[in-house]
Structures are given as C-alpha cells and as structure tokens.
Amino acid sequence: RPGVLNIFCDASVVPKDDCTYFGCPGAMAINNEGMNIDTLYRLFSNSTNNHSEITAILLSFYLAHKHQNYFREINIFSDSQISVFGLRNWMYGWLQNKNNGRLLNSCGEEVANQEIFLQIIQYVLDTRVRTSLYHVKGHVDPTKPVLIAKAIKTFKSSNGIDMDMTTACIVADYNDKVDTC
C-alpha cells in the first residue's frame, strides 16, 4: 500500500569455535513498490542467536526512525517470537519484577539480553518512532501453499490479525532475503 514501509529483520549465527558464535543481525526497509531502500547489518564476534535476533529488531527501529517522516505507516516483521513477545507482551511484567535494577522473568530469572530490550524501549521513548511490530513464521518457502498456510496461522496466533495469502508470500520472501543477504 502507498505510504507503507515494511522492515524485515532476522539474524544468523555461525560457529566461531567450539564455544562461541559469530552473529549477524540485519534489517532491510522495503517500500510499497517492493524496493529495498535501506539496509543495516552488524557482525558480532561473540553472540547467541537470541542476542542477534533482538539486535536485528533494534536495527529495525533505527531504520524506522530514519524513514518515519516519509511514511504514514511502518511495520516491523521478525521471526523471533521471544524477541517480539518480550517487547510487546512480557516487558511490562519484567519491569514489575525488577530486582536490584535487573529485569526478572515470571520464573524469577534474569531476562537474557535485557540491555538490548531496554535500549529499544528507551530509543522508542526518545525518538517517538511509531511502528507496528509483528511476529512471523521464519524459513517459509513462499512457493509451498502448505507452508504459507502455516505462516498465516502463526501470524494470526501471534498477532491477533489475519494475513492474506499474497501478503504471506511477500513476507516469507523478504524474511528469507534479509537472512541470506
């Protein structure tokens, strides 16, 4: 749709040695004509998958802020359920369960990568960037209707709204592109 910017983010990790991993979070901004107008990637020499996934969302917010004056609507799509739900659903509980300045989850354990979660919240508050954040099913082949049907079901379950087949195929395609760029 005109005036809409869709930002797709994902992360990859590869072994550095037996105990550590390289992490590569990335985000790409796609305008309503399907053109990639901006991309951000980072490389970490010691990361985890979850660290890289939440960092990819942070990069998405950077892109959203950079382009927010040119689009009336900005959507961020991530296949990291733990990151999306952490920001959208669980953050309020984590903030209520703080102990000695550290966020605790519902089991009383410290929230992993909380510095990045808090950095995102502070960035949104400081910049007043406006976005919608959606969880999507990752690694979906857009040419396989059975997988697209599962992606649509996941989208509805995670976000409470429907997605049509065409949109699901587009989202699946860009989710793969940002991961393999």
pLDDT value of position 122: 97
- Check whether 135 has a pLDDT greater than 90: yes
- Mean of pLDDT values over 128-155: 96
Helix axes 114-127, 49-67, angle to 10 degrees: 10
pTM, to two decimals: 0.95
pLDDT value of position 18: 79
Encode pLDDT of 13-57 as tens digits.
998 887 888 999 999 999 999 999 999 999 999 999 999 999 999
Q: Closest Cα partner for 54 from 130, 116, 137?
A: 116
Find the DSSP H helices in 25-128: 49-67, 81-85, 91-96, 114-127
